[in-house]
Structure 1
């Protein structure tokens, strides 16, 4: 029985290798899911600093859209970690 990438645990490095070769949307989305914690951390820090708890979902949604863009623009040849680039 053949398993898909979604069914087995794939390392982030493998996902990046596959995405950089093929630029497939489903792999890009897997990367966004793996790095979504960055968005949540930044949104919670921002909301905590300004005491606007009503906007945390909006910040997370905007952050995930920006994360999609960051995945598409990321160039590992520049020797910068993705987490640094995206934040």
Structure 2
């Protein structure tokens, strides 16, 4: 409320936990958060590399041999990337 924001971020949650005297949970929570961020970063990098590799192989816009399953996987990865961005916005 002080910052006139509608969104909570990581700092807000950590501060509230300190105020409520839940310090013993802060260290494990921070470790879990860092592990989650590393995992999401790895997924994003893998997706970007896959897209880059796919673009290098393609010479004609759309590949007629591409299966629906591959298209669905790519769409799912795009959605996951968007969720990561939204999660990071909430945290910041």
User: Is the TM value for this pair above 0.5?
Assistant: no
TM-score range, shorter chain: 0.3 to 0.5
TM-score (norm 2): 0.33
Greater relative contact order, per chain length (Cα 8 Å cut-off, separation 6+): 2
